[in-house]
Amino acid sequence: MSRDVAAVFAAKTVRTFSYGFLGIVLPLHLGDLGLGPAGVGAAVTLMLVGSAALTWAVRRPAERYGARVTLVGLAGLSAVAALLLLVTRDPWVVVLAAMLGNVAVGTGETGPFLTMEQVVVARAVSAERRTWMLSLYNLIGYASAALGAVLIGAVSTWQPLFVMFLASAVLQALAYRALPDAVTGRARSAPDGPLVSAPLIRRLAALFALDSFGGGFVLQSLVAYFLHTRFAVEASTLGVAFAVAQVLTAISLLLAVPLASRFGLLPTMVVSHLVSNVALVAIAAAPTAAAAIGLLWIRHLLSQMDVPTRQAYVMAVVEDREREAAASTTNLARTLAQAVSPAVTGWVMQAVALSAPFVLGGGLKMVYDVLLYATFKDVKLRDEPR
């Protein structure tokens, strides 16, 4: 493994370890501080808006100054966020901290760290190894998040977890400082004219936005809130349930590589994602907590096969000089769309039914699967693996 990939993997490990417990703890913490369902939904929306703003902001600095400077700066913001969480009892300052720290509120990561790191990995490896390395990158993230989720049952207050978040931010910055000179600045200047692949990037971004809008109804934080409110599932049980979900997700990432090699990136993305959304919709009718968690596990065994394949696909259908633009545009679209639905989810849970978001989210994600295949089935990759 090259030095730049190893540095990214180390940073991914400590960051997602913290996300594993923060994604579950923060909505419960906000509830303890006085926010109801609508307030929690609005808070999650604001967290995603913050992530979207950072995703938009990192593209130009990354193209001009390179990945190392950008990523160290983002790690510094995470440290500030952790300090705020340690000193405040104001729920909206907690939300501000989560926005600054780009805290992941779903089982999968979005935002500026992912945007920059996937470009570093894509440039560091050959086309033949890209899907495998991105699968390993995501596998490390989900496995670390699973360990972080289990940790919830070992603490009686949230403060020790916020201290760990601060430590992880410092370790991230140190890992990024180890990025070699070859990836701290771009090998070629940023494009002056319009991007050749701009129409394709816009179509990808629009479809990814639809998928994320649907996914925003069923983010990990909101699923945790649903299980806690409807079935009175305790925080420690939620930690174990989501830890198992992360392990199953890790298995799905490993399965993605041979399936993509056999059937192609796009078919693997679409078919696995479509079947997983059937399980997602079924959670709405689950009669018990055990049934709901079981369906959630089935979904996680299938749903994340599209993550490394999607990242590899985006990197493969554009020119190398367009990768920052492609990564930031598609991730920005995903995060912005995902930011809208949590606020709507809080209202839907309160005014329609606590389980309604699973039907809305799963249905929209099925529409995305069909449109994605119909739109891109004839598009050729620029660096097709041999």
Find the CATH number of the domain harbouring 49.
1.20.1250.20
Instruction: List helix spans (H) across 88-219.
Output: 91-100, 112-124, 127-150, 159-177, 198-215
pLDDT digits (tens, 9 = 90+) for 197-252: 888 999 999 999 999 888 877 877 778 878 888 888 888 888 888 888 878 887 88
CB atoms within 10 A of CB 10: 17
Distances (CA, A) of 349 to 23, 87, 356, 362: 19, 31, 7, 15
79 occurs within a structural domain: yes
For residues 64-87, give the mean pLDDT: 91
Residue 366 structure tokens: 């099925």
Report the pLDDT averaged over residues 172-186. Answer: 73
Query: 36, 41, 14: which is closest to 105 by C-alpha?
Result: 41
Does residue 386 fall inside a structural domain? Answer: no
Asked if pLDDT for residue 173 goes beyond 90, the answer is: yes
Q: Contacts by 124-130 with C-beta closer than 8 Å and gap 24+?
A: 124/2, 124/4, 124/5, 124/183, 125/2, 125/5, 126/385, 127/316, 127/381, 127/383, 127/384, 127/385, 127/386, 128/385, 128/386, 130/312, 130/315, 130/316, 130/385
Rounded CA-CA distance 326/345 in Å is 29
- Per the model's pLDDT, the better-predicted residue between 275 and 185 turns out to be 275
Query: How high is the pLDDT of residue 107?
Result: 56
Q: Output the six-digit token pair for 139.
A: 């596998």
Q: Classify residue 166: in a domain, yes or no.
A: yes
pLDDT the model gives residue 349: 66
Please count the other Cβ atoms lying within 10 Å of the Cβ belonging to residue 169. 23
For residue 351, name the pLDDT band (cuts at 50, 70, 90): low
DSSP assignment string, 223-281? HHHHHHHHH---HHHHHHHHHHHHHHHHHHHHHHHHHHHHH-HHHHHHHHHHHHHHHHH
Does 201 fall in a domain?
yes
Q: What is the mean pLDDT of the chain?
A: 84
- Domain residues for 223? 3-185+194-376
The total of structural domains in the chain comes to 1
Within a domain: 383: no
Q: What is the pTM of this model?
A: 0.75
Establish if 311 belongs to a structural domain.
yes
Per-residue confidence band for 386, with pLDDT thresholds at 50, 70 and 90: very low
Lowest-confidence pick of 183-192, 256-265, 281-290: 183-192
pLDDT in tens, 49-67: 888 889 888 888 888 888 8
DSSP-based three-state secondary structure for 191 = coil
Question: Where does the pLDDT of residue 192 fall: very low under 50, low under 70, confident under 90, or very high at 90 and above?
Answer: low
Q: Answer yes or no: is pLDDT of 124 > 80.
A: yes
Give the integer Cα–Cα distance in Å for 323 and 306.
Answer: 19
In a domain, 382, yes or no: no
On whether residue 384 sits in a domain, the answer given is: no
**Three-state DSSP state, 185:** coil
Dihedral angle sign, alpha carbons of residues 203, 250, 172, 81: positive
What confidence tier does 369 reach under pLDDT thresholds 50, 70, 90? very high
> What is the chain's percent helix, strand, coil content, to nearest 5?
80, 0, 20
